[in-house]
Amino acid sequence: MSSIEQEIRDTRASLCLDCGKCTVVCPVAQFDSSFNPRLIVQRRLGPDGSAGDDDSVWSCVSCYMCTERCNYHVRFPEFIQAMRSEALENGAELQCAHGGTMQALMHMMADGNVQQDRLGWLPQDVEVASGCGTVFFVGCAPYFDVVFSDLGVNTLEGVKGALRLLNRAGIPFDLLANERCCGRDLLLQGDREGFAALARANMEEFSRQGVKRVITGCPEGCHTMRVDYPRVLGAVGVEVLHVTEVIAPLVESGELRLGGMEKKVTYHDPCTLGRCLRVFDQPRQVLEGIAGVEVVEMEQSREKALCCGSSPWAFCGVVNRQIQEQRLAQAGATGAEVLVTACPKCQIHLKCAQRSGDGEGTGMEIQDLASLAAGSLD
Amino acid sequence: MNGRMGQVIVFACNWDGLSCVEAAAVAGLSYPASVKVVRVSCLSRLDQGLILKAFELGADGVMLVGCEAGECHFDTDPELVDREYEKVRQVLRLLGLGADRLALVRLPRGHGEEFATRVTEFAIEVERMQPALVRGQ
């Protein structure tokens, strides 16, 4: 049995009962009737199933809504990853979004010769504890703010907010001058080799710097380093936490007192932080810790939250935009002033949709949770 | 792109940019063999992804050669190119490769000598830098 066949088997796809619940909850299927998770499984595993010729595998946004609903816990997004890997091996061409910018960046960062100069944005008021064993993983935010500058994204504000919250909480952290992209998007699009190169580069950097604990602001990095690195590289010996997992208990216990601001906000659960990592309560606890902030929920939230509509910087089209517009409409319908999210990629995708849309929610402010919470500190 | 230093990709627009490259050829002017010219319909065809792709594939320097201000045949070039050019320079800075690996040159139609001079100077400058990436070589 080939490794791909084994991988497909590991996703439990062969247990699919053909019930179709995945398709009912799938946001892509809602707008594209030709996309049907159940039938993709059936086509691949059926008697005539052939590898690498099913174009619909590229439409999945890896939101894990299907896995949430599946009674047999078929890990469909991982099945899709394996299918994409197989397709790329068979010569399929990836349709990159944004002119392939992020793919080029990820591949360049995997290069052993790269010595990045990526900390120029660090504010003077942030205290960094060199060599303390805990690292804040900045992720791709410095690149995002350049590459998507015309969308008005400010993902570094979220990073700065997270650092200020950690400073205030008295949690020491170091920053790495040469951390790489975590590689999640390469993994999601089926580029196993590119992903493994980034994973190894990061782990070597952690090992050189004696890193024992990693705190991330980006859910993608958190999931990748916590779940995917050990799967691909074996035991990595590093504890990985999302910043809300670190801050929320301190806010709850009263050890960290946030300030106040009068704002009505709604929280968008990033798929990777919510459904994948099961971090639903902590972001809300942080928001509720800000005096005067009223949190209102969208029609779909927590386990049922709608995706921001895009996945690994590839195959972004009209269906993705429809999902984004629906999410913005849900946010707008809450009457909140601010749409808060805890993922830089969600921010980018939703701001992109705001730029071209004119429906409900397109005029809403979108802000990172850590940036909002840090803004309340006096 | 096999093993030597200082590979330079020139993206020349089909109009005034390419006319300079052709004028240089007609006049028998020489420039370093490390320079490879890629014709594009307009510099606005280029976006940050395409320019970065050249670096990903092993270019050590990229030069964009296009029409002077007000001369673009599509009236779209200046704003788009300047924006993408600035973005890529910032990305190259973040990657630690140095912003000067990307140059933007606007030339009047048919100025072969100026093209040959500018591209030679750029190729020499790129040659002095370390190779951009090991992987692409």
Q: Helix (H, G, I), strand (E, B), or coil: what is residue A266? A: strand
Read off the pLDDT of each residue in A9-31 and give the average, rounded to a whole number.
Answer: 92
Question: Average pLDDT of chain A?
Answer: 93
Read off the pLDDT of each residue in A286-305 and give the average, rounded to a whole number.
Answer: 97
* Beta pairing, strands B102-107 & B35-40: unpaired
Determine whether the interchain pair A110/B47 forms a contact, defined as Cβ–Cβ distance below 8 Å: no
| Cα B29 to Cα A151: distance, rounded to the nearest angstrom | 44
Cβ A271 vs Cβ A64: under 8 Å: yes
Strand partners of residue B40: B13
Strand partners of residue B118: none
User: b or e along A85-114 (b: 16 or more beta carbons within 10 Å of the residue's beta carbon)?
Assistant: bbbbeeebebebbbbbbbbbbbbbbbbeeb
Q: Regarding predicted confidence, which is higher, B137 or B52?
A: B52
ipTM, 2 decimals?
0.92
Band (B135; pLDDT cuts 50, 70, 90): low
List chain B residues with CB under 8 Å of A99.
Answer: 47-50
Residue B2 has a pLDDT of 44
Judged against a pLDDT cut of 90, whether residue A361 lies above it is answered with no
- For residue A90, CA distances in Å to A39, A51, A78, A86, A190 come to 21, 8, 18, 6, 12
Overall pTM surpassing 0.90 (yes/no): yes
B48, B90, B131 ranked by CB distance to A101: nearest: B48
Q: Is A118 an interface residue toward B (CB < 8 Å)?
A: yes
Band (B77; pLDDT cuts 50, 70, 90): low
Determine whether the interchain pair B136/A146 forms a contact, defined as Cβ–Cβ distance below 8 Å: no
pLDDT tens figures, A214-229: 999 999 999 999 999 9
Residue A194 has a pLDDT of 94
Band (B5; pLDDT cuts 50, 70, 90): low
Residue B137 has a pLDDT of 40
Band (A286; pLDDT cuts 50, 70, 90): very high
Determine whether the interchain pair A104/B49 forms a contact, defined as Cβ–Cβ distance below 8 Å: yes
List chain A residues with CB under 8 Å of B101.
Answer: none
| Min distance B46 CA to chain A CA atoms (Å) | 9
Which B residues in the span 84-113 are in contact with A, Cβ-Cβ below 8 Å?
Answer: 87, 90-91, 93-97
Determine whether the interchain pair B95/A116 forms a contact, defined as Cβ–Cβ distance below 8 Å: yes
Q: Is B11 an interface residue toward A (CB < 8 Å)?
A: no
List chain B residues with CB under 8 Å of A150.
Answer: 83
Handedness of CA A9, A10, A15, A16 (dihedral sign): negative
Q: Regarding predicted confidence, which is higher, B73 or B109?
A: B109
Read off the pLDDT of each residue in A277-294 and give the average, rounded to a whole number.
Answer: 97
Interface contacts (A, B; CB < 8 Å)? 73
Judged against a pLDDT cut of 80, whether residue B1 lies above it is answered with no
Burial of A17 (0-12, 13-18, 19+ CB in 10 A): exposed
B91, B96, B131 ranked by CB distance to A146: nearest: B91
Range of lowest pLDDT (A43-57, A121-135, A298-312) = A43-57
| Cα A329 to Cα A339: distance, rounded to the nearest angstrom | 11
List chain A residues with CB under 8 Å of B55.
Answer: 104, 108
Determine whether the interchain pair B95/A98 forms a contact, defined as Cβ–Cβ distance below 8 Å: no
| Residues whose CB is less than 8 angstroms from the CB of residue A139 and which lie 6 or more positions away in sequence, other chains included | A159, A179, A181, A182, A216, A217, A218, A220, A221, A344
Length of chain B, in residues: 137
Q: Is A93 an interface residue toward B (CB < 8 Å)?
A: no
pLDDT tens figures, B7-38: 999 999 999 999 999 999 999 999 999 999 99
Q: Regarding predicted confidence, which is higher, B131 or A87?
A: A87
A98, A114, A146 ranked by CB distance to B49: nearest: A98
List chain A residues with CB under 8 Å of B50.
Answer: 99-100
In terms of C-beta distances under 8 Å and separation of at least 24 residues, what long-range contacts does A75-79 make, across chains too? A75/A11, A75/A12, A75/A13, A76/A11, A76/A13, A76/A22, A76/A37, A76/A41, A77/A188, A78/A7, A78/A10, A78/A11, A79/A8, A79/A11, A79/A13, A79/A41, A79/A44
Band (A240; pLDDT cuts 50, 70, 90): very high
B53, B90, B94 ranked by CB distance to A100: nearest: B53
Determine whether the interchain pair B133/A111 forms a contact, defined as Cβ–Cβ distance below 8 Å: yes
3-state helix, strand, coil in chain A (%, to 5): 50, 10, 40
The residue of chain A with its CA nearest to that of B48 is: A101
Residue A52 has a pLDDT of 57
